[in-house]
């Protein structure tokens, strides 16, 4: 292990590495191996491999249509790649439905907010805890014992997250009445309520103003800090990505063109070409 002294990053080993700000990153949580995803004739993702480590903030960036959201959808089990495999916690993940993936501790937010508009903020966040609630239908029907107890316990957990994200005042408001920025925050709350092992954020700052972005950045860092949640995020705002993330995957036209620390990626010629364009002559 070398390089710690100068505040440089460790070489990434199997056991993990140390970040610039001194956080210890663990071993491999999830590994994508040679993922290829096609829609009919269109290749959305072409032979991409990378890994996600316990405790790190991992960003996926790339121009529009690069296949970032498709990648996230592969991780959350919504799309099933034609080739390649997903290794999670050391085992190859079999083809499973999205809800099974969620039950394995992978929670996410969506690019276009996907809250349940007909429910209150509290109920929305409570849906994040569904797989922590085990009471069966009959226990719930008579609302006795386990069902009532579980409801109160999980409510207490949810209230912690409500406090953490500072949304106490809108607890009982119907989600449909909230402004955009708050909706994004409620969505994060719902994902956090699941106490996920890996948190997927699909453009968490899209369409926000500077102040809201700063708030969101703080929340993402705090979440990582407080709960040690492994976070994978897609984001367009370069400044945000470089500040937030420990390692970055760069995609372009469905291919991986770069992978490494923000500094490494910034200096990668291919990445520069993809973002700034290159004269084809």
Binding residues for other proteins, rule: CB under 8 A, are 39, 69, 73, 76-78, 97-99, 101-103, 107-108, 110-112, 114-119, 123, 126-131, 133, 135, 137, 140-143, 147-148, 150-152, 155-156, 159, 190-191, 194
> Which distant-in-sequence residues (6+ apart) come within 8 Å of 65 by Cβ?
253
| CA 32 – CA 16 distance, rounded (Å) | 17
* Residue that the structure tokens 């972005």 belong to: 213
In the complex, least distance from residue 167 CB atom to other proteins, rounded to whole angstroms: 16
Measured CA to CA, the distance from residue 105 to residue 244 in angstroms comes to: 22
Instruction: Tell me whether residue 85 or residue 159 sits nearer to other proteins (CB atom).
Output: 159
Cβ of residue 67: shortest distance to other proteins, in angstroms?
14
Q: Smallest gap, in angstroms, from Cβ of residue 21 to other proteins?
A: 31
Residue 32 half-sphere exposure, CB side, CA atoms within 13 Å? Answer: 26
Smallest gap, in angstroms, from Cβ of residue 38 to other proteins?
Answer: 12
Distance CA 192, CA 272 (A): 34
Work out how close the CB of 147 gets to other proteins at its nearest, in angstroms, rounded to a whole number.
6
Minimal distance, residue 71 CB to other proteins, in Å: 13
The residue with tokens 């409801």 is: 151
- Return the number of the residue (77 or 258) whose C-beta is nearest other proteins: 77
* Cβ closest to other proteins, residue 187 vs residue 259: 187
Tell the residue number behind the tokens 């084809």, with chain if given: 280
- For other proteins, the closer of residues 12 and 197 by Cβ is 197
Nearer to other proteins by Cβ, of 8 and 114: the residue is 114
Least CB distance to other proteins at residue 251 (A): 18
Q: Using CA atoms, how far apart are residues 33 and 29, in angstroms rounded to an integer?
A: 13
Question: Cα–Cα distance between 202 and 232 in angstroms, integer?
Answer: 8
CA separation for the pair 152, 172 (Å, rounded): 16
Surface-to-core class of residue 72, CB atoms within 10 Å of its CB (0-12 exposed, 13-18 middle, 19+ buried): buried
Tell whether the torsion through CA atoms of 40, 45, 49 and 51 is positive or negative: negative
Nearer of residues 42 and 210 to other proteins, judged by Cβ: 42
Other beta carbons within 10 angstroms of residue 150's beta carbon come to 17
Please, which residue, 103 or 209, has the CB nearer to other proteins?
103
């Amino acid at each position: 292990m070398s390089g710690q002294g100068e505040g440089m990053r460790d070489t990434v080993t199997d056991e993990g590495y140390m970040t610039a700000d001194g956080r210890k990153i663990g071993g491999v949580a999830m590994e994508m191996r040679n993922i290829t995803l096609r829609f009919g004739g269109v290749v959305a993702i072409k032979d991409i491999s990378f890994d996600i480590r316990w405790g790190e903030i991992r960003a996926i960036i790339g121009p529009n249509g690069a296949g970032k959201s498709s990648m996230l959808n592969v991780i959350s089990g919504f799309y099933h790649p034609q080739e390649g495999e997903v290794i999670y916690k050391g085992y190859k993940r079999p083809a499973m439905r999205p809800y099974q993936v969620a039950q394995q501790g992978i929670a996410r937010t969506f690019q276009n907010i996907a809250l349940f508009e007909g429910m209150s903020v509290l109920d929305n966040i409570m849906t994040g805890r569904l797989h922590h609630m085990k009471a069966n239908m009959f226990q719930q029907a008579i609302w006795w014992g386990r069902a009532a107890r579980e409801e109160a316990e999980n409510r207490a957990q949810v209230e912690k997250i409500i406090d953490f994200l500072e949304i106490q005042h809108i607890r009982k408001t119907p989600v449909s009445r909230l402004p955009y920025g708050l909706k994004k925050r409620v969505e994060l709350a719902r994902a956090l309520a699941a106490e996920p092992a890996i948190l997927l954020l699909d453009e968490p700052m899209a369409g926000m103003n500077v102040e809201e972005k700063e708030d969101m950045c703080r929340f993402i860092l705090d979440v990582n800090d407080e709960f040690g949640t492994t976070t994978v995020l897609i984001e367009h705002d370069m400044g945000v990505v470089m500040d937030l993330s420990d390692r970055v995957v760069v995609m372009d036209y469905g291919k991986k063109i770069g992978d490494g620390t923000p500094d490494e990626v910034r200096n990668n010629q291919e990445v520069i070409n993809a973002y700034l364009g290159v004269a084809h002559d």
